[in-house]
Copies of this chain bind each other. A is one copy, B any other.
Protein backbone atom coordinates (compact mmCIF):
# COMPACT_ATOMS: atom_id res chain seq x y z
CA UNK A 1 0.00 0.00 0.00
CA UNK A 2 1.52 3.33 -1.02
CA UNK A 3 0.85 6.38 1.09
CA UNK A 4 0.67 9.91 -0.23
CA UNK A 5 2.12 12.65 1.94
CA UNK A 6 -1.21 14.48 1.80
CA UNK A 7 -2.68 11.71 3.83
CA UNK A 8 -0.53 12.31 6.90
CA UNK A 9 -3.52 12.62 9.24
CA UNK A 10 -4.99 9.46 7.84
CA UNK A 11 -1.68 7.69 8.36
CA UNK A 12 -1.49 8.75 11.97
CA UNK A 13 -5.05 7.59 12.58
CA UNK A 14 -4.38 4.28 10.87
CA UNK A 15 -1.29 3.73 12.96
CA UNK A 16 -3.25 4.61 16.09
CA UNK A 17 -5.90 2.08 15.09
CA UNK A 18 -3.31 -0.64 14.72
CA UNK A 19 -1.77 0.15 18.09
CA UNK A 20 -5.14 0.27 19.83
CA UNK A 21 -6.27 -2.92 18.13
CA UNK A 22 -3.13 -4.66 19.33
CA UNK A 23 -3.66 -3.38 22.85
CA UNK A 24 -7.30 -4.44 22.86
CA UNK A 25 -6.48 -7.69 21.10
CA UNK A 26 -6.92 -10.12 23.93
CA UNK A 27 -10.29 -8.74 24.99
CA UNK A 28 -11.72 -8.26 21.52
CA UNK A 29 -10.74 -11.72 20.41
CA UNK A 30 -12.65 -13.35 23.24
CA UNK A 31 -15.69 -11.13 23.10
CA UNK A 32 -16.26 -10.55 19.46
CA UNK A 33 -14.82 -13.25 17.25
CA UNK A 34 -18.02 -15.00 16.19
CA UNK A 35 -16.29 -17.95 14.57
CA UNK A 36 -14.05 -18.80 17.51
CA UNK A 37 -15.23 -21.19 20.20
CA UNK A 38 -14.38 -19.74 23.63
CA UNK A 39 -14.69 -23.22 25.17
CA UNK A 40 -12.76 -25.47 22.73
CA UNK A 41 -12.10 -28.23 25.30
CA UNK A 42 -15.80 -28.65 25.98
CA UNK A 43 -17.58 -31.18 23.79
CA UNK A 44 -20.88 -30.04 22.35
CA UNK A 45 -23.74 -31.11 24.56
CA UNK A 46 -26.18 -30.03 27.23
CA UNK A 47 -23.51 -28.90 29.73
CA UNK A 48 -21.66 -26.62 27.35
CA UNK A 49 -24.92 -25.29 25.94
CA UNK A 50 -26.27 -24.44 29.40
CA UNK A 51 -23.18 -22.32 30.09
CA UNK A 52 -23.27 -20.33 26.87
CA UNK A 53 -27.04 -19.82 27.09
CA UNK A 54 -26.74 -18.48 30.64
CA UNK A 55 -23.92 -16.10 29.73
CA UNK A 56 -25.81 -14.92 26.65
CA UNK A 57 -28.96 -14.08 28.59
CA UNK A 58 -27.36 -12.27 31.54
CA UNK A 59 -25.14 -10.17 29.25
CA UNK A 60 -27.82 -9.20 26.73
CA UNK A 61 -28.76 -5.57 27.32
CA UNK A 62 -32.52 -5.11 27.51
CA UNK A 63 -33.14 -8.78 28.28
CA UNK A 64 -35.25 -9.45 31.41
CA UNK A 65 -32.38 -11.61 32.66
CA UNK A 66 -29.74 -8.92 32.10
CA UNK A 67 -27.32 -8.53 35.03
CA UNK A 68 -25.15 -5.39 35.28
CA UNK A 69 -21.41 -6.19 35.13
CA UNK A 70 -20.86 -5.17 38.78
CA UNK A 71 -23.21 -7.97 39.87
CA UNK A 72 -21.75 -10.67 37.64
CA UNK A 73 -20.05 -12.60 40.41
CA UNK A 74 -19.02 -16.21 39.76
CA UNK A 75 -17.62 -18.46 42.50
CA UNK A 76 -15.50 -21.56 41.98
CA UNK A 77 -14.53 -24.30 44.36
CA UNK A 78 -10.86 -25.24 43.86
CA UNK A 79 -10.04 -28.86 44.83
CA UNK A 80 -11.73 -31.17 42.31
CA UNK A 81 -13.28 -28.24 40.45
CA UNK A 82 -10.33 -26.22 39.15
CA UNK A 83 -7.53 -28.68 39.84
CA UNK A 84 -7.37 -32.36 40.78
CA UNK A 85 -7.68 -33.63 44.35
CA UNK A 86 -6.53 -37.26 44.20
CA UNK A 87 -5.14 -39.31 45.81
CA UNK A 88 -5.17 -36.54 48.46
CA UNK A 89 -5.82 -32.80 48.55
CA UNK A 90 -2.65 -31.26 47.11
CA UNK A 91 -2.32 -29.05 50.17
CA UNK A 92 -1.84 -32.21 52.19
CA UNK A 93 1.17 -33.13 50.04
CA UNK A 94 2.51 -29.69 50.88
CA UNK A 95 2.02 -30.39 54.60
CA UNK A 96 3.79 -33.76 54.27
CA UNK A 97 6.76 -32.18 52.54
CA UNK A 98 6.88 -29.50 55.24
CA UNK A 99 6.89 -32.14 58.01
CA UNK A 100 9.89 -33.78 56.33
CA UNK A 101 11.66 -30.45 55.84
CA UNK A 102 11.03 -29.37 59.44
CA UNK A 103 11.76 -32.73 61.07
CA UNK A 104 15.42 -31.93 61.78
CA UNK A 105 14.23 -29.03 63.96
CA UNK A 106 11.80 -31.38 65.73
CA UNK A 107 13.66 -34.50 66.97
CA UNK A 108 10.64 -35.24 69.18
CA UNK A 109 8.58 -36.01 66.06
CA UNK A 110 10.45 -39.33 65.65
CA UNK A 111 8.37 -40.78 68.44
CA UNK A 112 5.39 -38.43 68.53
CA UNK A 113 2.20 -39.10 66.55
CA UNK A 114 0.99 -38.16 64.03
CA UNK A 115 4.47 -37.08 62.93
CA UNK A 116 6.24 -40.39 63.61
CA UNK A 117 3.94 -42.24 61.18
CA UNK A 118 4.18 -39.47 58.58
CA UNK A 119 7.97 -39.53 58.64
CA UNK A 120 7.84 -43.28 58.02
CA UNK A 121 5.59 -42.63 55.02
CA UNK A 122 2.53 -44.09 56.72
CA UNK A 123 -0.15 -41.48 55.98
CA UNK A 124 -3.01 -43.77 56.95
CA UNK A 125 -1.44 -44.42 60.34
CA UNK A 126 -0.86 -40.70 60.86
CA UNK A 127 -4.49 -39.90 60.09
CA UNK A 128 -5.78 -42.65 62.36
CA UNK A 129 -5.86 -39.92 65.00
CA UNK A 130 -8.71 -38.28 63.09
CA UNK A 131 -9.38 -34.56 63.05
CA UNK A 132 -7.07 -33.91 65.98
CA UNK A 133 -4.13 -35.48 64.15
CA UNK A 134 -4.92 -33.52 60.99
CA UNK A 135 -5.11 -30.28 62.95
CA UNK A 136 -1.73 -30.98 64.55
CA UNK A 137 -0.17 -31.53 61.12
CA UNK A 138 -1.75 -28.36 59.75
CA UNK A 139 -0.66 -26.20 62.66
CA UNK A 140 2.89 -27.59 62.73
CA UNK A 141 3.32 -26.77 59.04
CA UNK A 142 1.14 -23.67 58.53
CA UNK A 143 1.59 -21.67 61.74
CA UNK A 144 4.50 -20.16 63.64
CA UNK A 145 5.93 -17.99 60.87
CA UNK A 146 5.09 -14.61 59.35
CA UNK A 147 2.69 -14.35 56.42
CA UNK A 148 5.62 -13.39 54.18
CA UNK A 149 7.66 -16.40 55.26
CA UNK A 150 4.70 -18.71 54.65
CA UNK A 151 4.08 -17.19 51.23
CA UNK A 152 7.70 -17.83 50.26
CA UNK A 153 7.46 -21.43 51.45
CA UNK A 154 4.37 -22.00 49.31
CA UNK A 155 5.96 -20.32 46.28
CA UNK A 156 9.09 -22.47 46.59
CA UNK A 157 7.08 -25.66 47.02
CA UNK A 158 4.64 -25.06 44.17
CA UNK A 159 7.56 -24.30 41.85
CA UNK A 160 9.29 -27.60 42.52
CA UNK A 161 6.92 -30.25 43.92
CA UNK A 162 5.60 -32.98 41.63
CA UNK A 163 2.41 -35.01 41.73
CA UNK A 164 3.16 -38.65 42.74
CA UNK A 165 1.14 -40.15 39.88
CA UNK A 166 1.72 -37.87 36.91
CA UNK A 167 5.12 -36.47 37.88
CA UNK A 168 3.77 -33.06 36.86
CA UNK A 169 3.89 -29.84 38.88
CA UNK A 170 0.59 -29.48 40.74
CA UNK A 171 -0.21 -26.27 38.88
CA UNK A 172 -0.28 -28.28 35.64
CA UNK A 173 -2.94 -30.55 37.07
CA UNK A 174 -5.60 -27.92 36.51
CA UNK A 175 -8.57 -28.52 34.27
CA UNK A 176 -8.16 -26.97 30.84
CA UNK A 177 -11.96 -26.66 30.32
CA UNK A 178 -12.25 -24.73 33.58
CA UNK A 179 -9.40 -22.38 32.62
CA UNK A 180 -11.34 -21.66 29.44
CA UNK A 181 -14.52 -21.15 31.44
CA UNK A 182 -12.84 -18.68 33.82
CA UNK A 183 -11.50 -16.68 30.88
CA UNK A 184 -14.83 -16.84 29.05
CA UNK A 185 -16.73 -15.50 32.06
CA UNK A 186 -14.22 -12.70 32.61
CA UNK A 187 -14.39 -11.77 28.93
CA UNK A 188 -18.13 -11.38 29.52
CA UNK A 189 -17.73 -9.00 32.42
CA UNK A 190 -17.79 -11.52 35.27
CA UNK A 191 -15.61 -11.20 38.33
CA UNK A 192 -14.34 -14.70 39.16
CA UNK A 193 -13.71 -15.77 42.78
CA UNK A 194 -12.31 -18.94 44.29
CA UNK A 195 -14.25 -20.21 47.32
CA UNK A 196 -12.35 -23.20 48.63
CA UNK A 197 -12.09 -25.30 51.76
CA UNK A 198 -8.34 -25.10 51.19
CA UNK A 199 -6.11 -22.55 52.85
CA UNK A 200 -6.57 -18.99 51.59
CA UNK A 201 -2.85 -18.27 51.94
CA UNK A 202 -1.93 -21.57 50.32
CA UNK A 203 -3.79 -20.60 47.11
CA UNK A 204 -3.04 -16.90 46.79
CA UNK A 205 0.65 -17.16 45.85
CA UNK A 206 -0.14 -18.94 42.57
CA UNK A 207 -3.87 -18.43 41.83
CA UNK A 208 -3.30 -15.24 39.83
CA UNK A 209 -0.68 -16.80 37.55
CA UNK A 210 -2.50 -20.12 37.11
CA UNK A 211 -6.18 -19.09 37.13
CA UNK A 212 -6.07 -15.34 36.55
CA UNK A 213 -7.72 -14.86 39.96
CA UNK A 214 -6.03 -12.12 42.03
CA UNK A 215 -5.43 -12.63 45.79
CA UNK A 216 -8.35 -10.38 46.77
CA UNK A 217 -10.69 -12.75 44.92
CA UNK A 218 -9.50 -15.87 46.72
CA UNK A 219 -11.60 -17.03 49.70
CA UNK A 220 -10.58 -20.01 51.78
CA UNK A 221 -10.03 -21.49 55.19
CA UNK A 222 -7.66 -19.59 57.43
CA UNK A 223 -5.82 -19.53 60.73
CA UNK A 224 -5.63 -16.43 62.89
CA UNK A 225 -2.84 -13.89 62.47
CA UNK A 226 -1.49 -11.29 64.86
CA UNK A 227 0.37 -8.05 64.25
CA UNK A 228 3.79 -7.86 65.90
CA UNK A 229 6.70 -5.46 65.64
CA UNK A 230 9.99 -7.18 64.74
CA UNK A 231 13.11 -5.05 64.35
CA UNK A 232 10.85 -2.00 64.23
CA UNK A 233 8.81 -3.40 61.35
CA UNK A 234 5.24 -4.71 61.56
CA UNK A 235 4.78 -8.36 60.63
CA UNK A 236 1.75 -10.64 60.71
CA UNK A 237 2.46 -13.85 62.61
CA UNK A 238 0.43 -16.95 61.79
CA UNK A 239 -1.06 -18.43 64.96
CA UNK A 240 -1.89 -22.11 65.59
CA UNK A 241 -5.59 -21.31 65.89
CA UNK A 242 -8.39 -21.82 63.37
CA UNK A 243 -9.94 -18.57 62.15
CA UNK A 244 -12.46 -19.83 59.62
CA UNK A 245 -13.39 -23.08 57.87
CA UNK A 246 -14.60 -22.28 54.39
CA UNK A 247 -16.47 -25.49 53.69
CA UNK A 248 -20.11 -26.65 53.55
CA UNK A 249 -22.21 -24.16 55.62
CA UNK A 250 -19.07 -22.02 55.82
CA UNK A 251 -19.01 -21.26 52.10
CA UNK A 252 -22.04 -18.92 52.05
CA UNK A 253 -20.66 -17.32 55.23
CA UNK A 254 -17.28 -16.76 53.56
CA UNK A 255 -18.92 -15.45 50.40
CA UNK A 256 -20.98 -12.98 52.39
CA UNK A 257 -17.98 -11.90 54.46
CA UNK A 258 -15.65 -11.36 51.49
CA UNK A 259 -17.89 -10.46 48.58
CA UNK A 260 -20.97 -9.03 50.25
CA UNK A 261 -23.28 -9.90 47.42
CA UNK A 262 -24.79 -13.11 46.20
CA UNK A 263 -23.06 -14.75 43.23
CA UNK A 264 -25.08 -15.38 40.09
CA UNK A 265 -23.07 -18.48 39.17
CA UNK A 266 -21.39 -21.19 41.24
CA UNK A 267 -19.20 -24.13 40.30
CA UNK A 268 -18.33 -27.09 42.51
CA UNK A 269 -17.78 -30.83 42.55
CA UNK A 270 -18.62 -32.23 45.96
CA UNK A 271 -21.01 -32.18 48.90
CA UNK A 272 -18.76 -29.51 50.40
CA UNK A 273 -20.07 -27.19 47.70
CA UNK A 274 -23.77 -27.97 48.19
CA UNK A 275 -24.55 -24.97 50.39
CA UNK A 276 -22.64 -22.61 48.09
CA UNK A 277 -24.72 -23.77 45.14
CA UNK A 278 -27.94 -23.54 47.16
CA UNK A 279 -27.03 -20.04 48.37
CA UNK A 280 -26.24 -18.91 44.83
CA UNK A 281 -29.37 -20.30 43.21
CA UNK A 282 -31.69 -19.09 45.98
CA UNK A 283 -31.22 -15.53 44.70
CA UNK A 284 -33.85 -13.82 42.58
CA UNK A 285 -33.64 -13.82 38.77
CA UNK A 286 -31.19 -15.77 36.62
CA UNK A 287 -28.74 -18.01 38.50
CA UNK A 288 -26.46 -20.82 37.41
CA UNK A 289 -25.03 -23.82 39.24
CA UNK A 290 -22.71 -26.47 37.86
CA UNK A 291 -21.22 -29.64 39.29
CA UNK A 292 -18.14 -31.34 37.89
CA UNK A 293 -18.50 -35.11 38.14
CA UNK A 294 -15.31 -37.16 38.14
CA UNK A 295 -16.08 -40.00 35.70
CA UNK A 296 -12.85 -40.59 33.83
CA UNK A 297 -10.64 -43.19 35.51
CA UNK A 298 -8.31 -43.20 32.53
CA UNK A 299 -7.51 -39.53 32.04
CA UNK A 300 -8.23 -38.43 35.65
CA UNK A 301 -10.05 -40.30 38.41
CA UNK A 302 -13.54 -41.75 38.73
CA UNK A 303 -15.25 -41.21 42.07
CA UNK A 304 -18.34 -39.67 43.48
CA UNK A 305 -20.85 -41.29 45.80
CA UNK A 306 -18.36 -43.30 47.86
CA UNK A 307 -17.07 -41.61 51.00
CA UNK A 308 -13.69 -39.93 50.99
CA UNK A 309 -12.10 -36.93 49.34
CA UNK A 310 -14.49 -35.14 47.00
CA UNK A 311 -17.54 -37.14 47.91
CA UNK A 312 -20.46 -36.18 45.69
CA UNK A 313 -23.73 -37.57 46.96
CA UNK A 314 -26.29 -35.12 48.34
CA UNK A 315 -25.22 -32.40 45.91
CA UNK A 316 -25.71 -34.81 43.00
CA UNK A 317 -29.23 -35.62 44.18
CA UNK A 318 -29.98 -31.91 44.52
CA UNK A 319 -28.53 -31.19 41.08
CA UNK A 320 -30.79 -33.81 39.52
CA UNK A 321 -33.84 -32.60 41.43
CA UNK A 322 -33.36 -28.89 40.67
CA UNK A 323 -31.82 -29.00 37.22
CA UNK A 324 -28.31 -27.81 37.96
CA UNK A 325 -25.81 -28.53 35.20
CA UNK A 326 -23.83 -31.73 35.77
CA UNK A 327 -20.58 -32.10 33.86
CA UNK A 328 -19.52 -35.66 33.10
CA UNK A 329 -15.76 -35.24 32.66
CA UNK A 330 -15.42 -38.28 30.39
CA UNK A 331 -18.26 -37.23 28.15
CA UNK A 332 -18.11 -33.44 28.27
CA UNK A 333 -14.40 -32.63 28.25
CA UNK A 334 -12.30 -33.37 25.15
CA UNK A 335 -9.19 -32.35 27.10
CA UNK A 336 -8.84 -32.55 30.87
CA UNK A 337 -5.29 -31.37 31.63
CA UNK A 338 -3.43 -28.76 29.58
CA UNK A 339 -0.51 -31.14 29.07
CA UNK A 340 -2.64 -33.73 27.25
CA UNK A 341 -2.15 -34.02 23.52
CA UNK A 342 -5.32 -33.12 21.67
Chain A contacts to B: CB under 8 angstroms: 1, 3-4, 7, 9-11, 13-14, 16-18, 20-21, 24, 70, 73, 147, 191, 200-201, 204, 208, 214-218, 222, 225-227, 233-234, 236, 243, 249, 252-253, 256-261, 275, 278-279, 282
Q: Which residues of B contact A252 (CB under 8 A)?
A: 227, 234, 236
Residue of B nearest to A73 (CB): B216
Closest CB in chain B relative to A190 CB, distance in Å: 13
Q: Which residues of B contact A3 (CB under 8 A)?
A: 10
Number of identical protomers: 2
A9 to B3, CA, bound (A): 11
Residue of B nearest to A8 (CB): B1
Q: Which residues of B contact A201 (CB under 8 A)?
A: 260
Asked whether, in the complex, the Cβ of B208 is within 8 Å of the Cβ of A226, the reply is: no
Asked whether, in the complex, the Cβ of B13 is within 8 Å of the Cβ of A18, the reply is: yes
Q: Which residues of B contact A260 (CB under 8 A)?
A: 200-201, 204, 215-216, 218
Asked whether, in the complex, the Cβ of A253 is within 8 Å of the Cβ of B275, the reply is: no
Asked whether, in the complex, the Cβ of A225 is within 8 Å of the Cβ of B256, the reply is: yes
Residue of B nearest to A70 (CB): B214
A216 to B21, CA, bound (A): 31
User: Given contacts A10-B3, A18-B13, A200-B260, is CB(A216)–CB(B191) below 8 Å?
Assistant: yes
**Which of B7, B16, B20 lies in contact with A7, CB distance below 8 A?**
B7
13 A-B pairs besides A216-B216, A227-B279 with CB distance below 8 A are: A1-B9, A7-B7, A10-B11, A13-B18, A20-B24, A70-B208, A200-B257, A201-B260, A216-B259, A225-B257, A227-B249, A227-B252, A234-B275
Residue of B nearest to A147 (CB): B256
A252 to B226, CA, bound (A): 9
Q: Which residues of B contact A234 (CB under 8 A)?
A: 252, 275, 278-279, 282
A234 to B253, CA, bound (A): 11
**Which of B20, B217, B256 lies in contact with A17, CB distance below 8 A?**
B20
Residue of B nearest to A14 (CB): B13
Asked whether, in the complex, the Cβ of A256 is within 8 Å of the Cβ of B236, the reply is: yes
Asked whether, in the complex, the Cβ of A275 is within 8 Å of the Cβ of B20, the reply is: no
A17 to B73, CA, bound (A): 31
